[in-house]
C-alpha cells in the first residue's frame, strides 16, 4: 500500500527515529474480531477497515482507511519503541 509507505516515511522524518524493521507486512482478514492490531512486523486489519474500491468508495471511506492505516503504524513509534521493558 502506497499509503503505508508514505506514513512510515513521514513518521521516520517527523520523529527522527527510523523504524528498526526492514519491512512491515499488512494483511486484511475477513473475519478479524478487532478493527486492526499492530504486531511486531505485521499489522492485521479487518478487511472492511482497509479495502476500498478506488472508483466507488467515497472520500470519507478513503479517509477512514488512511486514518486506520496511519494509526496502526504509529504504534511502532508510540508503543513498541517506548514500551517499558517490564511491560513486555
Handedness of CA 43, 70, 74, 68 (dihedral sign): negative
The residues, ordered by sequence, that sit 6+ positions from 62 with a Cβ below 8 Å of its Cβ are 52
**Which of the residues 2, 38, 47, 72 is marked catalytic?**
72
The span from the CA of 83 to the CA of 63, in Å, is 29
Look up 2 and say whether it is catalytic.
no
Give the residue numbers annotated as catalytic, written as ranges: 72
Amino acid at each position: 500500500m502506497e499509503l503505508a509507505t508514505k506514513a512510515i516515511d513521514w513518521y521516520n522524518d517527523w520523529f527522527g527515529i527510523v523504524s528498526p524493521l526492514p519491512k512491515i507486512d499488512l494483511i486484511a482478514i475477513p473475519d478479524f474480531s478487532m478493527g486492526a492490531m499492530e504486531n511486531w512486523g505485521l499489522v492485521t486489519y479487518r478487511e472492511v477497515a482497509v479495502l476500498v474500491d478506488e472508483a466507488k468508495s467515497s472520500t470519507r471511506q478513503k479517509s477512514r482507511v488512511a486514518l486506520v492505516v496511519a494509526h496502526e503504524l504509529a504504534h511502532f513509534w508510540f508503543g513498541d519503541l517506548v514500551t517499558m521493558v517490564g511491560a513486555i
